[in-house]
Structure 1
Amino acid sequence: MDATLGDVVGVLDGLYDPAWAESWDAVGLVTGDPAQPVRRVLFAVDPMRVVVDEAIGGDFDLLVTHHPLLLKGVNSVAATTPKGRLIHDLIRSGTALHVCHTNADNANSGVSDALAAALDLKDTRPLKAMPADSMDKLVVYVPVGETQAMIDALAAAGAGQVGYYDRAAWSSTGEETFRPLDGADPAIGKVGEVERLASDRVEMVLPRHRRRAVVEAMRAAHLFEEPAFDLYEMAALPSNRGGGRIGVLAEPLPLKRFAELVAERLPRTEHGVRVSGDPDRLIEKVAVVGGAGDSEFDRVRAAGVDAYVTADLRHHPATEARAHDDGPALVDVAHWASEWPWLKDAERLLIAGLAEQGSTVETHISTLCTDAWTIRL
């Protein structure tokens, strides 16, 4: 079955939720009609002129890029500017443009996962972990004979999902007591008389955005008109999403050999691979950040890594980082090269996600080098 642009964007948003993007970023659909068919998809790092020409000339219906075309607000997309001309050409040709930027940086698997995998890093974890999704815990007291029906109702509303398990609940049996007053319509007991009955305390976790639905399901399923329940907001824990990755090499390598490995595994650029550190230093624990990474030096040093691989390192932050005796060796690569490995992951995951829906698309990864530096002397 042919996919629509809406189908493709739905899969991409599932992989790279726009909510994971940084507040300053501009991600999502730039041009295109969600109802239009998508047969061919081109993946690239930058929505530059040569890449847009490749997409239009190759009859691609959708161009997916990592970097935004319109990162800052604009008042005009007139064809009098380079970006305005790109917008006009994309719309005129019917070529959609979709951007996955910092939402792909923070995803798992995302941009830094792909960079870590290219360098054979194992046991990876985020360098800058995002908090896990906000969670609540519902505690409700249920007559013993109604417990399993209540768990079913709460699970159907979204509670009790823990990893690869659903309907996860904890219960213990105790005694519940109450006295119905005038105006009550008790399912058990009589007005004015103290009632005691065996009840289960049922506990289930739920995503906070499902709070209303779960509480409504609990009320609808409960035998009592006034169920006794508690709702707790759980503390936020680190997730497996976030910027950068920390991992280890299967075997320690001298810095010079590790830098050679980086050069071998990433696309060639005129920028090349720059290294700061003792060439004989053994490298085992490594931090990576796809794209510009000198804002993360404090986290990298606190992580106690032997080397830090990233892009766009500036003179002063780099020299300040190297001034620490316990600081890591630095391996600086081209911005474009550090993010290009992600394109293969995005392609693979999109194909798999569409296949689950019964759709197929033809895909291609652009190999055009759009790094800003074109000559090295």
Structure 2
Amino acid sequence: MPATVSDVIAALDAAYPPDLAESWDAVGLVCGDPAEPAGRVLVCVDPVAATVDEAVELGARMIVAHHPLLLRGVHGVPADSAKGALVHRMIREGIALFCAHTNADSANPGVSDALATALGLRVTGPLAPHPGGDTGIGRIGELAEAEPFGTFVRRVAAALPATRPGVHGAGDPDRPIRTVAVSGGAGDGYLGAATEAGVDAYVTADLRHHPAGEHLERLGRVPALVGVTHWASEWPWCGQAAEVIRGAGNVEVHVSTRCTDPWNLTA
């Protein structure tokens, strides 16, 4: 029997429990009939026009996205609004949309585990753990052998999909790097946690000027910083989620190959 949308949801909820989501978050089924066959599923970071186009081209009946489409409260989804147009198109095409956001960030394994694995790190625990468990935001890991920071920055660039902004490093290029903290998505709120963990480097996205600068000016030993784009830092999770979905039974799963990072020009 083909797996239904409900079967896929059950597998995802088991891997990324909804109760791990932050109180402000919006996770779960956005549109679609749980009783319908899932058929072909597309996994992506962003539910945007480009990935909906991709789903239509693939003949997918379900999209599983990391980022919510409707994060803030809405009073309607008119087709003449950007997000409303996507909802109407998915309904017309018979495509269900399911989102796993901060629950996938905190789950074990979750978004940051996928990032750590892509970088060749052995995970030792969460960066910001939830009380009494092995879940939480970010991960701490270690390389098999120490390498210079300049080499490590190149490792990050080689491991993640290319983006126009690329990968940026802040630190001594010759500094030995062995222990590393990672946080998929916007992570400068965890600069203090990375420092307290005593790691050599911290990899995350959306590093802002003042928090990063103030971090590097702190007295004492602080982690070197590697900045990547939000989309690139979370894209490795798509492969992890695809494996979870395959466990739901008879379903075909594709990982999106379309870069939905908003930055497309450099000068």
Same fold by TM (over 0.5)?
yes
Cα deviations across residues 104-151 of structure 1 (Å, max 9, x unaligned)? 0001110000000011111421011112xxxxxxxxxxxxxxxxxxxx
| Alpha-carbon separation, structure 1, partners of 2:57 and 2:10 | 26
- The residue type equivalent to 2:44 in the other structure is A
Match in the other structure for 2:83: 83
Cα deviations across residues 301-322 of structure 1 (Å, max 9, x unaligned)? 1000110000000000000110
Structure 2 residues without counterparts, runs of 5 or longer: none
Pick aligned residue for 2:172 from 269, 278, 282: 278
Cα deviations across residues 56-111 of structure 1 (Å, max 9, x unaligned)? 22210100000010010111100111101000001111100000100000011100
- The residue type equivalent to 2:88 in the other structure is H
Q: Do 2:32 and 2:94's aligned partners in 1 also have CA atoms closer than 8 Å? A: yes
Structure 2 counterparts to residues 125-274 of structure 1, below 5 A:
125-131=125-131, 237=132, 239-274=133-168
Matched, 1:306 2:200: yes
- The residue type equivalent to 1:14 in the other structure is A
| Alpha-carbon separation, structure 2, partners of 1:269 and 1:123 | 26
| Alpha-carbon separation, structure 2, partners of 1:367 and 1:38 | 20
SS across alignment from 2:64:
strand
Percent identity between matched residues is: 55
| Alpha-carbon separation, structure 2, partners of 1:280 and 1:273 | 17
SS across alignment from 2:134:
strand
Match in the other structure for 1:169: none
| Alpha-carbon separation, structure 2, partners of 1:75 and 1:2 | 35
Matched, 1:365 2:267: no
Q: Please identify the structure whose Cα radius of gyration is greater.
A: 1
| Alpha-carbon separation, structure 2, partners of 1:4 and 1:312 | 36
SS across alignment from 2:130:
strand
SS across alignment from 1:336:
helix
Match in the other structure for 1:336: 231
SS across alignment from 1:240:
coil
SS across alignment from 1:275:
strand
Match in the other structure for 1:42: 42
Aligned pair count?
Answer: 266
Match in the other structure for 1:139: none
| Alpha-carbon separation, structure 2, partners of 1:37 and 1:288 | 36
Cα deviations across residues 36-67 of structure 1 (Å, max 9, x unaligned)? 11110000000010111111222101000000
| Alpha-carbon separation, structure 1, partners of 2:104 and 2:35 | 24
Match in the other structure for 1:350: 245
SS across alignment from 1:37:
coil
Match in the other structure for 1:105: 105
Cα deviations across residues 7-40 of structure 1 (Å, max 9, x unaligned)? 1111111111110001111100000111111110
Shift of 1:376: 1.3
Match in the other structure for 1:70: 70
Shift of 1:271: 1.3
Structure 1 residues without counterparts, runs of 5 or longer: 132-236
| Alpha-carbon separation, structure 2, partners of 1:106 and 1:94 | 31
Runs of 4+ in 1 over 4 A off after TM superposition: none
| Alpha-carbon separation, structure 2, partners of 1:38 and 1:247 | 36
Structure with greater proportional strand content: 1
**Scaled by the length of structure 1, what TM-score is found?**
0.70
